[in-house]
Chain A
Amino acid sequence: MTFLPLRRLLLLLTLATMTTAAVAAGKTVTLLNVSYDPTREFYDAFNAAFATDWKRRTGGSVIINQSHGGSGKQARAIIDGLEADVATLALGYDVDALSVQGHLIAADWQKKLPYNSTPYTSTIVFLVRTGNPKGIRDWGDLIKPGVAVITPNPKTSGGARWNYLAAWAWAKSRPGGSDATAEAFVKALYRNVPVLDSGARGSTMTFVERGIGDVLLAWENEALLAVRELGAGKFQIVIPSQSILAEPPVTIVDRFVDKHGTRAVAEAYLRFLYAPEGQLLAAQHYFRPRDVAVGAKYTGQFPTVKLVTIDQAFGGWRAAQAAHFADGGSFDRIYEAY
């Protein structure tokens, strides 16, 4: 009995949303970009630039809606039915899940756009408090007693997985390094982690706003944002001797753009990420641009770091995920041990 009005109401609500959507479709296209945490400021600026460009070229209006959250969580939401037109996530594995678990995109999605469908890159650096009181220079310093390391949970955070793999790759590259020594190193590192936030932004907040920890393992873009815009003079960046090339990929979600009839504008949107204007915006928001000319203007911002890639060091995301972050992977082993 009580469910009758509820159902009627639901029907009304859906009808209402459907008609408003239909009215809007006459003049304006709407895209939904589902992204990960630290891209908020970048896509805010980029969306406005793209809308202007699209209007200039086609005369049409486009509204881009944004959703942000931990990369793994966002992929899960798209698979559960969050109808993203484009997904711009933290790592290839999460986009892969859209194909493997959601059947929403083709398996070869990564070949559809230049540079492995990664228009901008980043890397993992250390953020420390000014003056570097604990004298942190390289990965080896992170396992010293009394050093509190802030990094998010690799089960839910893309950034945390890059952190984890960067640490692993460094330990393995040491003289006499092996998977066993790398696991022992990472285990010692996590023993120094007092808080595991669920996303990269949460960890930045823990370190910057709440003042917890001596060193934050962070996306370079997140670290630069913290240094330049949050606490000028309060933090400084330490570049380790080796890090990892972090490639946050982008893709069209085939199933949903076909349903919404937005394929053309979604493709143009992603292509615009590669255009000089998009590349410039990426660099301004502390992502390393692919475009050489744009990159040349920002060499001061992005120092040269020795970078390993996920393919070289781990045989790609699927292998890395299975070995380290899946149930029973190395992270479960080292973290269970406490």
Chain B
Amino acid sequence: MSAAKPRSNQGFGRAALVALALGYLALFLLLPFGVVFAQAFSRGLATYLHALTDPTARSAIWLTLTVAAIAVPLNLVFGVVAAWTVTKYDFRGKSALITLIDLPFAVSPVISGLIYVLLFGAHGWFGEWLYAHDIKVIFAVPGIVLATVFVTFPFVARELIPVMQAQGRDEEETALSLGATGWQTFRRVTLPNIRWGLLYGVLLCNARAMGEFGAVSVVSGHIRGLTNTMPLHVEILYNEYNATAAFAVASLLALLAIVTLAARAALESRAPELKRATKTAGGHP
């Protein structure tokens, strides 16, 4: 490794690999990204803003925000509970639970949507009861929320489990033995240790919740201005030969992706020192 000859070879190989990786990224990530914005602004700023302030676009944006505002907190709570349960306790069926958490990743989003149609559709298990009580689940906002919750289920838990596993149980057990209540232990000991992982999980969960297409498409009913989320609205606009407006709405989703990535980079650069800081603080409660 430190010999002179291989190093020059290695230098060349490294440059080639870096070039390949960067070229690949540029071709498959940056170029399409650029196309979205180029198309969105191809008819000027006024057209762009018009596409975003159109009532059906506004309702799609609003619905997407609403769905994320419900799905993300739910999965935040579930994710923490699940990760806590899996890493701090031993019980039978634990590995089954870990596998189950990953289920939404393994299932095609279309199936995730169809599950709810089979459960809550007019001919589904609960269909008649829901119809008799005039409660709409699928082809309405609750169905879209359910499908989104299902699809974004694993993100928070998946981020937390490794962090909590690495953490072990010692600190919590110490806190408990010193007389802290369960809640105090969680708030003062566990939470400071996991908060960056938690934030990152929430970020990913949110990005997926806003961007989900397949599962939501199945349960949406595609009613303009009522049950179209942003990704569905993009498809509709495109199919109406309105590519500029489609890319304008798509650019918002692309911006979301950029914000998510930037936040992730910021978290990762700040996390180590902050983590150390919280750890020393947590060490002397």
Contacts and interface: CB of A to CB of B under 8 A. Distances in A.
Interface of A: 1-2, 5-6, 9-10, 13-14, 17-18, 32, 37, 40-41, 65-69, 77, 79-83, 102, 201-202, 205, 209, 229-230, 259
Interface stretch (B178-186, B219-227, B249-257, B262-270): B219-227
B33 to A, nearest CB: 20
A41 B240 contact: yes
Interface in B219-264: 221-226, 236, 238-241, 243
A42 to B, nearest CB: 12
B142 A67 contact: no
Contact of B239 (A2, A37, A79): A37
A205 to B, nearest CB: 7
Given A37-B239, A201-B239, A202-B239, A79 B140 contact: no
Contact of A82 (B70, B127, B139, B236): B139
B223 A66 contact: yes
B136 interface: yes
The 4 closest A-B pairs by CB, nearest first: A81-B122, A80-B121, A82-B139, A82-B221
B78 interface: yes
Contact of A65 (B124, B145, B225): B225
Interface string B126-159: 0100010011111111100100010000000000
A17 B123 contact: no
Contacts of A229: 241
A1 B136 CA distance: 24
Contacts of B226: 65
Given A10-B137, A13-B141, 18 more contacts: A2-B77, A5-B77, A6-B149, A9-B70, A13-B145, A14-B136, A17-B136, A17-B141, A41-B240, A65-B226, A66-B224, A67-B221, A67-B222, A77-B139, A80-B123, A81-B120, A81-B127, A83-B139
B94 to A, nearest CB: 17
Contact of B139 (A81, A202, A209, A230): A81
Contacts of A79: 122-123
Nearest to B143: A81
B239 A32 contact: no
13 contacts: A2-B74, A9-B70, A9-B145, A13-B142, A13-B145, A65-B223, A77-B139, A80-B123, A80-B124, A82-B139, A82-B221, A205-B238, A229-B241
Contact of A69 (B77, B120, B222, B240): B222
B117 interface: yes
B81 interface: yes
A110 B225 CA distance: 30
A44 to B, nearest CB: 9
A253 to B, nearest CB: 12
Contacts of B137: 10
